[in-house]
Structure 1
């Protein structure tokens, strides 16, 4: 282990990239388009490629005035370079997220090198790259992985400026990284990135009663850099939508999340803290002793910076009514860097964890989450897939043994061995679940199965498919922008007006659909059925494909 560890420390960036790719590549192409946010982002990007309009953001005929343009441009570049019409390969839309996580791993390491030793930086970056929530977002075609990279760019430059503790102008590389990170963060997710960096700065100023060091980041030149990044599109979208984008995005989307539980995504204060054992896994194995050590070392500038980064924004997120697990993800590198600092101290025998109750509690939390993940092959195939009991038992046993083995090593405070085993176990679990398990969960893949089903039954895409009772964005992405999502009565009336057509109808809308057709003298020939589980709503769904025929003459 010592020799392998030394080898890793001599080439940290290469190891971090390899580690990230090993966690991100499984499942990237085999995971179906996810509902609802991923498929909405992908469909909006797809429509940009279809129409050539790269200013306005639309989902079918509806203006999608929620997030700025950045992620759509990144996805459009990836998809246009690597695929061809009809642009329905979801893996190509996910590549910007994968690239952002790779970049984030390197930026965490860069921030760690400014704050601590190379060993501490390497540990912090490696754990950040393997964190469960980070791996999840790295597999999804939406904004949060890219936002993480932007925040880390700004925070790494800010860390170097803060620790320099003088007003001498920073190198232009740091200036570009800081202000470029802020500007690109605005293009990705509006004010969220600057808010995190701004709260870090305000916390440090309030703590130390000094702000002169900020001038080292060349604020006048930096403001010009950020403006050059943001203003061209910001002006264009304002003109194109007559200001509607800003009304909807700031007052509707952002304002609604701050003042209420937007889209029923709510939670009590403490929500993120309670989720940390899962979202920070496997890093939770070392978190509690780290928190105690960091609280005692809060007078150290590097630790103070991490506290200013994580704590104020975390408290605000706990108080905001709208909550989703990934909202605190840009704060997690501060936690993993603190873990890296604490473990490096323990490796050097400057701290002794053997008698710490907090260490035992961390091991228990790690084990509970790990065993829950390990149970996936048995539990999820029973609920949503086709079980293969011998295989599922073998996979679950293998994953559980890896988790328990890591926990046993950590319990005996063999910390470096525990760290390496925790990383290896995480890679194994991610590969088994994302590449081996998810493709077998047929019931959860209703949209891909429905799209394949209607094509097998003869629908060739020359006319829009009419769908009623199942309106998930993933189906629109797979079937095409012109897919018509209507009620049962509206679907029947539309096909009556067309004089014929094909419709995919859920059972709950079938009565109205067939009744309206019958009243007009039209017939509906059943072509087949397909069933699955709509995880966005938590409901089973049964769809029937009909061919609508006009009245006989």
Structure 2
């Protein structure tokens, strides 16, 4: 977008990317443009700037969780719920990815908090503040611009569930749907019309037909899983809150006729069922529902409604220290497997996280749920720092595209042209140059023959074709480096030889 100055069409080089709306790309473009204006060197190739909207989106989602909680519980419960969501594994991961999901989560959680207040006003037979109603619809509109129908679907299911539970349509009246739909249309329609005209309708074919409907009809991109997969995955992605929510669930269900429980169940349950029934599954699909579940944990812990005294609850809480143990063992094995050594600082930090998580068990057994949660949150903070701050430095093999880009200065000439033969990830385009040539082995040889300052990344499966073409073309490039690793996108081993020519 920044390079072409086109903020309507979404492209990767010349390839149309029409599976998602433009919202998150605008946020990323704004992040990079702002950094460039402030003098940040090489801002366009700084991956952290593209991840910044996700970090800010996750921060906004955590604050919105607290704000949502304040409408239905005291400050202790709201703070415990918001801090608990911030401590989850999925929050730590998604805040560090340059994807749509954290920004979408922020809009969904704001809509959730606004819906709570509108619902409570409906029960009190009074009009909700106009600002809250406007916030709800603006959040829905922003969600549409980020990821299409996801936020409207979740909110729509919640509204329908609340109306059915109360046997009343009063909530629909308080939502001022006519005004709200006009706001959503005013936000989304201009871009939708422009992209529809510019793509000749291709955006709607790709995003609705090929992306959304195909995912609903059957598993796509090797991400199929049966119903119940999200429930199983939540024990990892929602750690450390998953065991606490299991213990909170009986209290939540017992209070299902109380407004606080009713609105949490309405937001989480229908949408969760929808996601479970869709054949295509990825762990982050249900993330917009997690803040509601986190608030259920906070409320039951603060109000003494957790089923702490049950034997099964006391056994289940042992899963809290299992999280750091599994992560420490798993990442230590991965470091040994990829790097051939051990990361002692990471092991020490992992042991500390395990000790803190284990310290969450005795207070829970003594009925002090909030104290237990604080220890679990501390364990999560240490474990997050250990993984992203210590383990990551020994996992370069998981980022072969970055290592390929890092070989370019070895050519000894400025701004080399580049081509890649074989498997590549989109990040290689960002890390090298946007005119990166995507070709095969023979094409890479012809590319080098053109002379000047050039580099070719040749994957091992293209090596034979590349060598044959070198002989035919009469080219003798310099062998610059060898790079091997594991491509996270597809979890496959890749190996490259980097060749270069210079004036």
- TM-score, scaled to structure 2: 0.94
Distance in structure 1 (CA, Å) of the matches to 2:392 and 2:295: 31
CA drift of 1:499 comes to 9.0
Decide whether the 8 Å contact of 2:118 with 2:133 is kept in 1.
Answer: no
Does residue 471 (structure 1) correspond to residue 424 (structure 2)? The answer is: yes
Distance in structure 2 (CA, Å) of the matches to 1:417 and 1:166: 35
Q: In structure 1, what is the equivalent of residue 105 of structure 2? A: 148
Change (3 A) 1:430 1:246: same
Q: How does 1:94-113 map to 2 (within 5 A)?
A: 94-113=51-70
Decide whether the 8 Å contact of 1:131 with 1:280 is kept in 2.
Answer: yes
Change (3 A) 1:387 1:413: farther
Distance in structure 2 (CA, Å) of the matches to 1:389 and 1:437: 7
Q: In structure 2, what is the equivalent of residue 137 of structure 1? A: 94
- Aligned to 1:73, which of 26, 46, 58? 26
Does residue 341 (structure 1) correspond to residue 299 (structure 2)? The answer is: yes
Distance in structure 1 (CA, Å) of the matches to 2:136 and 2:59: 18
Distance in structure 1 (CA, Å) of the matches to 2:172 and 2:312: 37
Q: In structure 2, what is the equivalent of residue 203 of structure 1? A: 161
Residue by residue over 1:142-195, the C-alpha shift from the partner in whole angstroms, topping out at 9 and shown as x without a partner, is: 111111111111111111111222564321211211110110000000000100
Which secondary structure does the structure 1 equivalent of 2:490 belong to?
coil
Distance in structure 2 (CA, Å) of the matches to 1:420 and 1:86: 38
Distance in structure 2 (CA, Å) of the matches to 1:493 and 1:213: 66
Which secondary structure does the structure 1 equivalent of 2:474 belong to?
coil
Q: In structure 2, what is the equivalent of residue 30 of structure 1? A: none
Q: In structure 2, what is the equivalent of residue 158 of structure 1? A: 115
Distance in structure 2 (CA, Å) of the matches to 1:500 and 1:50: 22
Out of 321-330 and 446-455, give the one that drifted further.
Answer: 446-455
Decide whether the 8 Å contact of 2:320 with 2:376 is kept in 1.
Answer: no
RMSD: 2.1
Decide whether the 8 Å contact of 2:445 with 2:475 is kept in 1.
Answer: no
Change (3 A) 1:450 1:182: same
- Aligned to 1:444, which of 398, 416, 425? 398
CA drift of 1:228 comes to 1.6
The unaligned stretches of length 5 or more in structure 2 are none
- Aligned to 1:426, which of 380, 400, 408? 380
Which secondary structure does the structure 1 equivalent of 2:2 belong to?
helix
Q: In structure 2, what is the equivalent of residue 523 of structure 1? A: 476
Decide whether the 8 Å contact of 1:386 with 1:442 is kept in 2.
Answer: no
Change (3 A) 1:392 1:279: closer
Which secondary structure does the structure 1 equivalent of 2:414 belong to?
coil
Which secondary structure does the structure 2 equivalent of 1:375 belong to?
helix
Change (3 A) 1:160 1:391: closer
Distance in structure 1 (CA, Å) of the matches to 2:382 and 2:374: 12
Distance in structure 2 (CA, Å) of the matches to 1:422 and 1:486: 49
Decide whether the 8 Å contact of 2:43 with 2:49 is kept in 1.
Answer: no
Out of 470-479 and 393-402, give the one that drifted further.
Answer: 393-402
Decide whether the 8 Å contact of 1:70 with 1:187 is kept in 2.
Answer: yes
Residue by residue over 1:276-318, the C-alpha shift from the partner in whole angstroms, topping out at 9 and shown as x without a partner, is: 1111111124111211111111111221111111111111111
Distance in structure 2 (CA, Å) of the matches to 1:339 and 1:255: 34
- Aligned to 1:364, which of 305, 318, 333? 318
Change (3 A) 1:301 1:437: same
Distance in structure 2 (CA, Å) of the matches to 1:336 and 1:514: 57
Does residue 219 (structure 1) correspond to residue 177 (structure 2)? The answer is: yes
Decide whether the 8 Å contact of 1:159 with 1:305 is kept in 2.
Answer: yes
Distance in structure 2 (CA, Å) of the matches to 1:181 and 1:265: 29
Does residue 302 (structure 1) correspond to residue 260 (structure 2)? The answer is: yes
- TM-score, scaled to structure 1: 0.86
CA drift of 1:432 comes to 1.3
Change (3 A) 1:459 1:58: farther
Relative contact order (alpha carbons < 8 A, sep ≥ 6): 1 or 2 greater? 1
Q: In structure 1, what is the equivalent of residue 81 of structure 2? A: 124
- Aligned to 1:169, which of 127, 138, 141? 127
CA drift of 1:390 comes to 4.1
Change (3 A) 1:363 1:543: same
Q: How does 1:338-417 map to 2 (within 5 A)?
A: 338-346=296-304, 351=305, 353-376=307-330, 378-385=332-339, 387-388=341-342, 390-417=344-371
Q: In structure 2, what is the equivalent of residue 233 of structure 1? A: 191
- Aligned to 1:318, which of 260, 267, 276? 276
Decide whether the 8 Å contact of 2:250 with 2:306 is kept in 1.
Answer: no
Change (3 A) 1:232 1:435: same
Distance in structure 2 (CA, Å) of the matches to 1:412 and 1:379: 36
